[in-house]
Structure 1
Amino acid sequence: MGVIPFPPRSPGAGAPPTQIGFDRPELTRILDLYGRMVAAGHWRDYAIELGRDAAIFAAFRRAAERPEFRIEKRPALRARQGMWALVGEAGQVVKRGHELAPVLAPVERRLMKLVED
């Protein structure tokens, strides 16, 4: 048995991946924000879903409810409105863009308000 790449690669060169994932800098940025929200006492749990069309990081205030925010990476939308989206608890798109940092800005601002209180 050999090393199995994660996420698994599609057979054939140039084929789309069978699973979308976060790369290390993206996940580092997301987990850094998550850790600061946990330290502020706002978030308590998270979930990661890696699918064929999207990679989703969901942050929860409590484990038994809908996520407060979902950070979605959808490479198929890269050429249109941007592959990153911040989705609110009710399913509304809060922010969409081509870069991760501006998409996370509304949560960063909320964190600043939590720390100031």
Structure 2
Amino acid sequence: MLVSMAHSADIATFPTPGDRVSFHRLELSVILGLYGRMVAAGFWRDYGISMLRDVAVFSVFRHTAEQPLYRIEKRPKLAARQGQYAVIGLDGQILKRGNDLATVLRIFDRKLIRAV
């Protein structure tokens, strides 16, 4: 019985940890701080993190089985142009973009302010 060996070019390659974009510890700290405040206010319930070759995505959900309400994306290749961080809404519209994560996430501050 003859078994042919697959060429390395035929095998799908998955990005190794060094090839993927990811959020650093300080970035995650800022994002998770916002997430905790939004959960306490009753707006968000779940999150997911994706680390891909060109982008890292923090998705927030109201319910687990739904599409994400918002996506917080990090695209380092856009740092010199439009800014590497972006908040994207449910419909795919970019709500805020910039190079400072805390400034970009301020878009959610008005949701946390409630009339008494």
Q: How does 1:55-94 map to 2 (within 5 A)?
A: 55-94=56-95
Pick one of 12, 17, 32 that aligns with 1:8.
Answer: 17
Matched residues in 1 for 2:68 and 2:112: separation?
16
Amino-acid identity (%) = 53
- Cα deviation, 1:57-94, whole Å, max 9, x if unaligned, reads 00011111111110000001011000000000110000
Which residue of structure 2 aligns with residue 30 of structure 1?
Answer: 31
Which residue of structure 1 aligns with residue 111 of structure 2?
Answer: 110
RMSD, matched Cα:
1.3
One-letter amino acid of the counterpart of residue 56, structure 2: A
Matched residues in 1 for 2:113 and 2:51: separation?
29
One-letter amino acid of the counterpart of residue 80, structure 2: A
One-letter amino acid of the counterpart of residue 64, structure 2: A
Structure 1 gaps, min length 5: 1-6, 10-17
Structure 2 gaps, min length 5: 1-15
Alpha-carbon distance, 1:8 to partner:
2.3
Matched residues in 1 for 2:113 and 2:58: separation?
21
Rg bigger for which structure?
2
TM-score, reference length from structure 1: 0.82
Alpha-carbon distance, 1:111 to partner:
1.7
CA contact (8 A) 1:33 1:108 kept: no
TM-score, reference length from structure 2: 0.82
One-letter amino acid of the counterpart of residue 17, structure 2: P
